[in-house]
Every structure is written in structure tokens, then in C-alpha cells.
Amino acid sequence: MGESMTATAPAGFLSRERTIANPSFNRWLVPPAALAIHLCIGMAYGFSVFWLPLSRAVGITKSVACPADQGFFDLLTVAGCDWKVTSLQFMYTLFFIFLGCSAALFGGWLEHAGPRKAGVVAAFFWAGGLVLAALGTYAHQIWILWLSGCVGGVGLGLGYISPVSTLVKWFPDRRGMATGMAIMGFGGGAMIGSPFANWLINKFATPTDVGVWPTFLVLAAVYFVFMMGGALGYRVPRDNWTPAGWTPPAPTAQKMITTRHVHLNEALKTPQFWLVWWVLCLNVTAGIGVIGMASPMLQEVFGGHLIGVDASFSDLTPEQKVQIAGIGAGFAGLLSLFNIAGRFFWASLSDKLGRKTTYFIFFLLGFVLYASIPTWAQSGTLVLFVLSVCIILSMYGGGFATVPAYLADMFGTQMVGAIHGRLLTAWSVAGIFGPTLVGYIRDYQLDHGIPRAQVYNITMYVLASLLIVGAICNYLVKTVAERHYMSAEQLAQEKKIADDTHQHFVSDVGALAGEVSHSWKVLAAWMVVWIPLGWGIWKTLQTAAKLFS
């Protein structure tokens, strides 16, 4: 009796079993749920909006310098002077270190627990990190801010990988497009969050407070609601579900796409995993280096020519530097648009070209563009300079969006979320290596008397060489050896652990009828994410227009 009652006990609300979709469920409801989460956690890219206000949190109108002999441990608890921007930026670094680590550690748990539970946990960690940031700002304790970067970083990692496995299972016919739709939200989160946060800071600012800590609390509340909505909107398809009218391609037609599955632990033993790890790491290292220096690079290379003045950056007046800083901000906004668009464009194109070919384009075209930037800079060709950097950023975003489909093609869909989580450690490494490499080369040349307009030339050539190494790694990726695939018995056991063994008997015709009858839900779901995203795009275009005005 006891065993029978245990066997029939209902699963918990957040369990994977409770997220298995009904026969009439419309798969197009899943991407907006993923977007809702990614648009929230994507604000991590926009945290630079807080650095300057926080750097004068004590002085309000100007920073109050700390004692010159202040040690590291004094910095952790000092409350009577302002933080340096470099100290605050460590919070940003922690975001992406803990993103990669949490994605790697909890990827296997996610496959068994399901996307709904992972999304809910991500919402608590991301919003909780923002609440901690508010507390650290209010108490003026930087160690609390750094702790919030760790907590928020766990939310970033879980939120980032939570939809990947689900989307590739719902869209086996459009894997690249599906993951691109979701992951473009991570690139677009700052477009919404940055202007919104800036507006809140100005609203909350008083003569005695810069307005940051209440801004953190409002963002925590808003993001928590949106992320919970996205998490509760997740559904997973029933076992062996396929879209109506679609049949898997024959293995002989596309050798790099498997219909079998590799376990997480086994995937780590394959050369393919580590080759793709380096493919992602090198692509991100080059791209993140450009992101970090795009605005200052434009200003220092073109100087007064951006405002019609024949003068170098060093010779500009403070007022003129303010003018070109606005143009630099517009450039950064334009790059964010290409970052987002590239995630969808390149991932969708990879469905036609194949993932390996798409990455070859990233590396070879990227090499040409990186190597040409010094030429455009020296000749003063602003349009070609801007166009080259924009295309580079589109491929940076496209690399993130294409890699989940690349993994699914090679290792199957059963454990792709967990495998993707382990692969994101490449992002953590690149997030440290890229900015450090670029910053060191720039500072070294400035210290040795190289003009500001020329300090980026060697950097571009170094980044271009990294892409050649990435192309070689991509070339070496081959089909996974037969011995690494799970047997039918192993796959059945893995699905049992994942609560993915329920059977639903329904025809494809019935599923399509359900999609039509629920089309209003699809429209409503997409409107919820596209209205704020559209507002962010509009605000970004307004800022980017300064570049060409």
C-alpha cells in the first residue's frame, strides 16, 4: 500500500514532470519565456551605468578620495571615502566568473530538474544579488557589492543555460534559430536595463543620495516578476515528439548531425568538446576585447575629426571631449544592436550552412576585419572602421547563439544543456584573458610613447592571430566516435531520471490544430517581451544617431 501511494504521488509543481507539455501546446510559446529571462539577466552587460554614480556615493557631486596608504582589507570596510571605478568593475568580473562556474556545476542538475525549477532558482539568485547590491550601496560596503556579484553570477549561469536544452528539443528543425531567439535577449538586456536604470537613478537622486540603492531594489522587483513569468512558462516536449511534417535528416546527408546522445561525463572525454571549447574561447576573447575598448578606441583614433575639428584626442578641450564622449556612447549603442542581431542572424543562417561552416566564416572573415581596422584608422575612413567593428560584434554574438546547436548536432539533445554549461567555462576564461590582454598591450604602448591613435594597431593584429588558431581548432572538429554514445538502455535510464518518460498519444494534425487555436497566446507572449525590447532598440538608435549627425 505504502509503495503504491509513493508511486502515484503527484510530482512537485517545479518538477520536470509537471512541465511536460499538453498535446495542444504551441511550441512558439517557449522562446518568449526564454527571452523574458535572458532580457533580465542581460542587464549584467549594462552595469557600467552604475559605476560613475557609485564612485561619488559619499561626495555626491564629486568623489571623495581615500587615503593613499589604504590597504586592501581597509578597502573592504571603509565607509568614509568613495570607491574607485576599477574596484567597482570587479563586481562585473565576478558576474561572468560565477556565470561560467555555476553553468558548469549545475548543468547536469538542470537536465534532471527541468527548466522551470532552474529558471525559478535563477530568478531568486539574480534578484537576490540586486538586493544585496542595494544593501552594499546603502551601507557603503564594497565587500557586499562583490558578494552580490557572486550571488548574481549564479543567477546568470542558471538563467543563461535554462532554456537551451528545451529549445533544441522543441525546434529540432531550427536549432540555430531557436537558440538564437533566446540568447539574443542576453545581448539585448542592457539596451532596456541601462536607460531604465539611468532614468531611475535620476528620479531617486537627492542632494544627499546619488539614487543607486533604490534603483537596485526596483530592478530586483521588476526582474524577479519577469523571470518568474518566464520560468513558469517553460514546457518540455513529450518523449520522441517531432514537429508536424518533419523527419530527421538522414545521417549520411549531414554527417555532423547525430540522432543519438552522449552523456555529459562522456562528452568531456571527447576531443570534440575541448576543440569547441577553444573555438568559443578564442572567438569570445577577440570579441570581448573589442567590446571593452570600442568607445575609447573610436574617440582616441579619430579624435576631433568626429566633431569636425582637426585635432588629436589629447589636444581637445574638456568641452570637446564631452562631445565626442556622446558620440562614443552612440557607437557603443550601435554595437549592442549588431551584437543582438548577430545572435539571431548567424544562428539562423547556421541551420542552412551548418555550424562548422558558420564558425569558419566567423574566424576567416573576422581575421580580415580585425587586420583591416588599423588601415581604416590610419586613413581616417570612419565608415569602414565602424562597419568592420559592427560586423565583428555581430559574429561575437552569433558565436554565443550558434554554439548550443553545434553541441546538439555532435552530442545529441538529451544532455546538451549540461554540456553547454560546462562549455561556458570558456566564457569565464575569455572574460578575464581578453580585457587583460587588450588593456596590457594598450597601457604598455602608452607608457612607451606610442600616440593614442596608434595604440590599438598591434592589439588588432594579436586578436586577428587568435582567430586563426580558432579556425584551426574548428577545422579539427570531427564526428564523435561511436564508443561515446549512450546505449538504448543507458538513454532510457537517463530519461527516467529526468522524469521524461510520460507518453502522450496524439496526432500531428491535432497538435497543429491546437497551435492555431492558441495563436492569441503566442501573440500575447511575444508582445510582453517585444514591447520593452522595442523600447530599448528605439532608445539605442537615438543614441547611435549621434555617431552620424
Residue partners of 102: CB distance under 8 A and separation at least 6: 153, 154, 156, 157, 158
Alpha-carbon gap, residue 147 to 144, rounded angstroms: 5
Residues 272 and 223 in one domain: no
DSSP 269: T
pLDDT in tens, 401-449: 899 889 988 998 888 888 988 998 998 888 788 777 877 787 777 777 7
Q: Is the pLDDT of residue 265 over 90?
A: no
Q: Which residue has the cell 579619430?
A: 302
Task: Please state, for a pLDDT cut of 70, what percent of the chain lies above it.
Answer: 91
The 10s digit of each residue's pLDDT in 177-236 is 888 877 888 888 888 888 888 889 889 989 888 899 999 999 999 999 999 999 999 998
CB 185 within 8 A of CB 529: yes
In DSSP notation, 391-425 reads HHHHHHHHHHHHHHHHHHHHH-STTHHHHHHHHTH
Tell me the percentage of the chain whose pLDDT exceeds 90.
30
Least Cα distance to 41 among 222, 285, 284, 280 occurs for 222
N- to C-terminal Cα distance for the chain?
A: 78
Q: Are residues 302 and 166 in the same domain?
A: no
Q: Pull the grid cell for residue 95.
A: 558576474
Residue 223's domain spans which residues? 22-241+519-549
Domain annotation covers residue 547: yes
Radius of gyration (C-alpha) of the chain in whole angstroms: 24
User: Does residue 510 fall inside a structural domain?
Assistant: no
Task: Kindly report the CATH number assigned to the domain that includes residue 212.
Answer: 1.20.1250.20
Contact 182, 193 (CB under 8 A): no
Span of 134-143, 166-175, 263-272 with lowest mean pLDDT: 166-175
**Three-state DSSP class for residue 303:** helix
Please report the sign of the dihedral spanned by the C-alpha atoms of residue 13, residue 15, residue 19, residue 22.
Answer: negative
- Picking from 492, 509, 530, the residue at the C-terminal end of a domain is 492
DSSP collapsed to 3 states, 324-369: HHHHHHHHHHHHHHHHHHHHHHHHHHHHHHCHHHHHHHHHHHHHHH
Phi, psi of 242 (to 5 degrees): -140, 155
**In the predicted model, what is the mean pLDDT of residues 274-300?**
85
What is d(CA 425, CA 431) in angstroms, rounded to the nearest whole number? 10
Examine residue 370 and state whether it is found in any structural domain, yes or no. Answer: yes
Backbone angles phi, psi at 456, to 5 degrees: -95, -5
Q: What is the pLDDT of residue 8?
A: 44
Domain contains 488: yes
From 27, 542, 483, 12, select the one nearest 243 (Cα to Cα).
27
Dmax (CA) for the chain in angstroms is 88
Following DSSP, what letter does each residue of 145-193 receive, concatenated? HHHHHHHHHHHHHHHHHTTHHHHHHH-TTSHHHHHHHHHHHHHHHHHHH
Residue 312 dihedral angles phi and psi, to the nearest 5°: -75, 170
Check residue 81 and report its DSSP letter.
Answer: S
CA proximity to 113, closest of 13, 225, 34? 13
Q: Residue 450 has what DSSP assignment?
A: -
Residue 544: inside a domain: yes
**Average pLDDT in the 244-272 region?**
77
Query: Under 8 Å CB-to-CB from 446, ≥6 apart: which residues?
Result: 452, 455
Look at residue 137 in the predicted model and tell me its pLDDT: 94
Neighbours of 294 (CB within 10 A): 21
Q: How many residues does the chain have?
A: 549
Determine contact, residues 155/126, Cβ cutoff 8 Å. yes
Q: Are residues 188 and 228 in the same domain?
A: yes
Name the pTM for this structure: 0.78
CA dihedral sign of residues 22, 26, 27, 32: negative
CA distance 380 to 530: 38
* Bridge partners, 206 (sequence order): 209
Which helix H or strand E contains 200, and what residues bound it? helix 175-204
Distance of CA 146 to the CA centre of its chain: 20
pLDDT of 476-521, one tens digit each? 999 988 888 887 777 677 666 554 433 333 333 344 344 444 577 8
Q: Does 237 share its domain with 377?
A: no
- Please give the tally of structural domains in the chain: 2
223 and 270 inside one domain: no
Interatomic CA distance for residues 403 and 260, integer angstroms: 18
Percent helix, strand, coil in the chain, to 5, is 75, 0, 25
Q: Are both 226 and 265 inside the same structural domain?
A: no
Q: Do residue 366 and residue 410 come from a single domain? A: yes
Residue 511 lies in a domain: no
204 and 291, same domain (yes or no): no
Q: Is residue 9 part of a domain?
A: no
C-alpha distance from residue 206 to each of 61, 195, 201, 203, 216 (Å): 11, 19, 10, 8, 16
Copy the grid coordinates of residue 54: 557609485
Q: Do residue 323 and residue 445 come from a single domain?
A: yes
Query: At residue 499, what is the residue type?
Result: D
Examine the domain organization and report whether 137 and 194 are in the same domain. yes
In DSSP terms, 209 is beta-bridged to 206
Residue 504 placed within a domain: no
Q: Which of 456, 545, 540, 547 is nearest to 45 (CA)?
A: 540
Q: Which residues contact 366 (CB under 8 A, 6 or more apart)?
A: 283, 286, 392, 395, 464, 467
Q: Of 164, 411, 166, whose CA–CA distance to 267 is shortest?
A: 411
Indicate if 185 and 234 belong to the same structural domain: yes
> Does residue 133 surpass a pLDDT of 50?
yes
Same domain, 231 and 311: no
Final residue of a domain: which of 492, 508, 529? Answer: 492
The span from the CA of 399 to the CA of 396, in Å, is 5
Domain end: 454, 476, 492, which one?
Answer: 492
pLDDT digit string (tens) for 322-356?
Answer: 777 777 767 877 888 898 889 889 988 998 899 99
